[in-house]
A and B are shown apart, each in its own frame.
Chain A
Amino acid sequence: AQTVTQSQPEMSVQEAETVTLSCTYDTSESDYYLFWYKQPPSRQMILVIRQEAYKQQNATENRFSVNFQKAAKSFSLKISDSQLGDAAMYFCALYTGTASKLTFGTGTRLQVTL
């Protein structure tokens, strides 16, 4: 079985500040991907960032970066210089190759305030 846990149902950040969203996961697979997806009010899921498990280096995409701790099975998302457009639901997801299974967490709703 594979699981993804997001323990922060809601977070708030001021514009231009930095926020970190937490995610832990569990799998017995050695090869897997981890993702962060964003879901704005339009409901369309958008990929924010991805990390392959075999890569030691943490992924970065502009203002978004991850802290991937494989031994601890932790995968947090850091958003720097937060913008109003970052307000959305954020989902952490685990994709394991053997089973071709993609599992999501319960999500974190991010508010960005002026």
Chain B
Amino acid sequence: DVKVTQSSRYLVKRTGEKVFLECVQDMDHENMFWYRQDPGLGLRLIYFSYDVKMKEKGDIPEGYSVSREKKERFSLILESASTNQTSMYLCASSLMMVRHLNTEAFFGQGTRLTVV
């Protein structure tokens, strides 16, 4: 069974704090993704990574950074948390896309972050 595990289900942080959201997958997937989910806006891609130490900006990278030092772990960092970063954060992983090889993204359970 594929597992994507996010370190916290609920998190409350203060404005200005540095926040780390951790994600670990156990299926040796090359790709990992971080999204934030807000009502009416769906899932918006923050950053993704297709290999160790590689990272690509998604659609809303401002205010965030990421780290992928090991293949199984992808961390999302809020350098200085702000109230507009209060949201649900979802991590996902997948294989590289190869024709004839069925692939899908597997998701963690989500972290609901509140910044006060």
Contacts and interface: CB of A to CB of B under 8 A. Distances in A.
Given A37-B105, A45-B105, A102-B92, 12 more contacts: A33-B103, A44-B107, A47-B105, A50-B104, A100-B30, A100-B56, A100-B97, A101-B56, A104-B35, A104-B42, A104-B43, A106-B41
Contacts of B99: 31, 52, 54
A97 B91 CA distance: 19
A44 B109 contact: yes
B88 interface: yes
A105 interface: yes
A103 interface: yes
A25 interface: no
Interface residues of B, number: 30
16 contacts: A6-B42, A31-B97, A31-B99, A33-B97, A35-B105, A44-B107, A44-B109, A52-B99, A95-B94, A97-B96, A97-B97, A100-B96, A101-B45, A104-B44, A106-B40, A107-B43
Interface of A: 6, 9, 31-33, 35, 37, 43-45, 47, 50, 52, 54, 91, 93, 95-97, 99-107
B109 to A, nearest CB: 6
Contacts of B56: 99-101
Contacts of B42: 6, 91, 104-107
